[in-house]
Amino acid sequence: MKRIIRDIVKYLLPLLCGVWLFWYVYQKLDVETIFQILKTDVNYFWVVLSMGVAVFSHIARALRWRLQLRALQINPSMRVLVNAIFGMYAMNLLFPRLGEVWRCGYVAQREKASFSKVLGSMVSDRLSDTVMVALLTLLVFFMQMKPFLRFLDENPSIEAGVRGVLTSVWLYVGIALCIVAVVWFFRTNSQSRFVQRIRGLMANVWAGFASIVTMHGKFQFIFYTLFIWFCYFMQLYLCIFAFPSTSHLTVPAVLLLYVLGSLGMGLPVQGGIGPWHLAVIAGLSYYGITGNEAGAFAFVAHGSQMVLIVLIGIYAFISMACDKKKPRGERVVEDIVTEIPESDRP
């Protein structure tokens, strides 16, 4: 019963919050006018082109991950990696952040590799994305400082929330206490089989994380990273040409919208539904694009990518079902905990 409640809170509550935020944003707009815009004013050629660019970004992510896995002596085929990436996005659409764990389990079981090492490679993969978001945010802050500050002024709850967390004494006290507790536990139970297993698990995770340093093709890794984020930006940039009201936006303006949308996607809500729309519509308002035009743009730009994720997810799972070497679904889940002995599991 407790597990059911925990899963409801973990997965259903964020979805409900996102849906409520989506409703809150669009209930102020004229839905009939938005649908009229979608019928008559949108050039869907640019939307489809944007979806095509997104596919290239996902394939590039698979190519980048292959470099890290090869450094760990794990050599899955591109088909396996593409299925893992496509399936990951589909899983995340249902269960936030679960897709990353699922893709590691799938590749580890499919290639008979250490799950923790594959997990470590995924952590470093996501770390590079975090670095890119941080760099883009700084770039936009300096290029578009006035719009950025205006966004914070118009959304005081976001500014107050971030400032409150960063200035809270309890945050740093809690972090310090957690570090002390973990160090104390490992030192006083150094001979425990459970602690030894955890240390082995962390060593494998670190090996996967360090693969970014030891792998061959570091310049390829950097190229793929830049290409991935270029494609991400182009997905949004191409969409502006689909609407007469947004076709005049400049590259710096779209870059601001992209960063705001990325921050919204960072929240643990399925597909960024709600937070992404709020952030992008708020950004568009600075450039004089408000109300129904902004709502229609956010709906199409976001909705087209969600449709694409569903389509590539269907392709991935059909491809896995046709794979003669496919692992059984339950084995993928079981393999995540095989490195902890049964006697030490909770």
Indicate the length of the chain as a whole number.
346
pLDDT at 128: 83
CA distances from 253 to 136, 156, 285 (A): 13, 22, 11
Residues 6+ apart with CB under 8 A from 147: 253, 256, 283, 286, 287
Q: What is the mean pLDDT of residues 187-194?
A: 78
| Tokens found for residue 309 | 């994720």
Residues 6+ apart with CB under 8 A from 273: 15, 18, 19, 21, 22, 302
pLDDT at 332: 46
Tally of CA atoms within 13 A in the half-sphere of 19 that contains its CB: 6
**Which residue type does 197 have?**
R
pLDDT at 325: 62
| Tokens found for residue 208 | 């996967």
pLDDT band at 334 (very low <50, low <70, confident <90, very high): very low
Residues 6+ apart with CB under 8 A from 174: none
Q: What is the mean pLDDT of residues 279-294?
A: 88
The residue among 346, 117, 313 whose CA lies nearest residue 211 is: 117
The residue among 264, 298, 305 whose CA lies nearest residue 53 is: 305
CB–CB of 108/248 below 8 Å?
no
Residue by residue, DSSP assigns 169-227 as: HHHHHHHHHHHHHHHHHHHHTTT-HHHHHHHHHHHHHHHHHTHHHHSS-HHHHHHHHHH
78/197 Cα distance (integer angstroms): 32
Report pLDDT digits (tens) over 74-105.
899 999 999 999 999 999 888 877 889 999 99
> For the whole model, what pTM was predicted?
0.75
137/25 Cα distance (integer angstroms): 24
CB–CB of 125/64 below 8 Å?
yes
All structural domains of the chain with their residue ranges: 29-344
40/53 Cα distance (integer angstroms): 24
Report pLDDT digits (tens) over 291-321.
899 999 999 999 999 999 999 999 999 999 9
CB–CB of 120/204 below 8 Å?
yes
